[in-house]
Amino acid sequence: MKSIEWIPTSGEDEGKKFVITRMSAFAADKWARHTVKALIKSGAKIPDTAMEAGILGLSGVAMQMFGFMDDDDCDKAFQAMLDCVKISRLAPDGRTYLPPVQLFENDISDPQTLVDLRSEAFKLHVGFFKAAASQISPLAAALIPPASPENSPAS
């Protein structure tokens, strides 16, 4: 499975090394389908331009759209992304990192670290999100009336 290492360069968590590993294809597909359905249920629309914008464009828009979801759905989507994260602590020599281990709440001090970790995890899963959106969104668009302008992510 694909993994990336991410080290904050500022803030209270500066220098901590996080390892973010992509979910299995089946788990990522399930997460993406549930997330897209929750976004549609909330009235959020995934702009066509975002779907075509590539990883960075879609991840920026999608992360903003999570604000439209109800708290339970958003918590589940965010937790699934954080479940992909482990932390590598510094070894006693202060120069090398130990193998990654499970992430605990007290491992993160800076609120921006949570935002950045979710965003980095989303980037690893954006292909699954795009696939689910392209599969579910056209059907939902045909069944669900368009969101009013004040409820649209573009406003």
1-51 per-position pLDDT tens digit: 899 999 999 999 998 999 999 999 999 999 999 988 888 888 876 666 555
* pLDDT top residue among 1 and 105: 105
In the chain, the largest separation of any two C-alpha atoms, in whole Å, equals 60
Long-range CB pairs of 9-15 (<8 Å, 24+ gap) are 11/110, 11/112, 11/113, 12/109, 12/110, 12/113, 13/108, 13/109, 13/110, 13/113, 15/90
* Residue 110 near residue 8 (C-beta atoms within 8 A): yes
Mean pLDDT within 77-93:
94
Number of folded domains in the chain? 1
The pLDDT, as a whole number, for residue 136 is 78
The pLDDT, as a whole number, for residue 28 is 95
Residue 142 has pLDDT above 50, yes or no: no
pTM (global) more than 0.75: yes
Residue range of the domain that includes 131 = 3-151
The pLDDT, as a whole number, for residue 151 is 44
Indicate the average pLDDT of the chain.
Answer: 83
Mean pLDDT within 88-106:
94
Q: How far is 155 from 148, CA to CA, in rounded Å? A: 10
Residue 152 has pLDDT above 80, yes or no: no
* Residue 117 near residue 6 (C-beta atoms within 8 A): yes
The pLDDT, as a whole number, for residue 3 is 96
Burial class (CB in 10 A: 0-12, 13-18, 19+), 47: middle
